[in-house]
Amino acid sequence: MVNIEGLKKAEVLAALYNGSRSLGMGMLQFTPEPMTTEEAEVLLKDNSYPYFDYIKGRVMKVDLSGDDYFNERLYDRDNGNMAAQRVIDNLRITVKRKSKIKWVYGLSITMIITGVYYLLISKGQTETPDNIAITMIILGIGCIIYGTDIGRNKSWIQPKW
């Protein structure tokens, strides 16, 4: 059983589809385009019971009726040993990276706005030094660059501990 707790079913279905291959007569219906989460949501909504045998020629053989687990045996039989677990592990990494990017971008926008605010209110005043405001803006821009590198999976910026 593969643990999908905390993941959206549409993301799970799209990831499993994108990690599967065409097999047998499915080759006649095969389309090479990856499935989006939005397409997966439509498929899940349209099916009263979320069991998927083949989708667009790709072998699936998964029952996503459970909230926390699904049986990967048939998926792995046709797509390779431990294929379902690898797909879900990669999905968890992707979801974690996206949430980190959102947090970093939110922080950077906050710092830039705060820096601009301090610049505006410090005109003609000595209580709020301009260098603090400029530092906030520079740090905010640095966070945007860092967030972009996380999105591109640049390992050189991640600590090695």
Nearest to 108 by CA among 71, 152, 142, 60: 142
Task: Tell me how far CA of residue 150 lies from CA of 13, 15, 93, 104, in angstroms.
Answer: 25, 20, 12, 9
Confidence of residue 117 (pLDDT cuts 50, 70, 90): confident
pLDDT value at 161 more than 50:
no
Contact residues for 133 (Cβ-Cβ < 8 A; gap 6+): 115, 116, 117, 118, 119, 122
- CA distances from residue 68 to 22, 63, 72, 160 in whole angstroms, order as listed: 27, 12, 13, 32
Band of residue 13 on the pLDDT scale cut at 50, 70, 90: very high
**Could you tell me which residues are beta bridge partners of residue 58?**
22, 55
89-115 confidence digits (pLDDT tens): 999 988 887 777 777 777 788 878 877
Question: Is residue 160 over pLDDT 50?
Answer: no
- pTM, two decimals, is 0.68
Please name the residue that has the structure tokens 């699936």: 60
Report the C-alpha gap between 21 and 30 in whole angstroms: 9
Reported as a pLDDT band with limits 50, 70 and 90, residue 157 is very low
Hey, what are 97's tokens? 């990276």
Contacts 24+ apart (CB under 8 A), 145-148: 146/104, 147/100, 147/101, 147/104, 147/105, 147/108
Place of tokens 């906050």: 110
Mean pLDDT of the residues in the chain: 83
Per-residue pLDDT of 17-44, as tens digits, reads 999 988 877 777 888 899 999 999 999 9
Per domain, the residue ranges of the chain are 2-81, 99-157
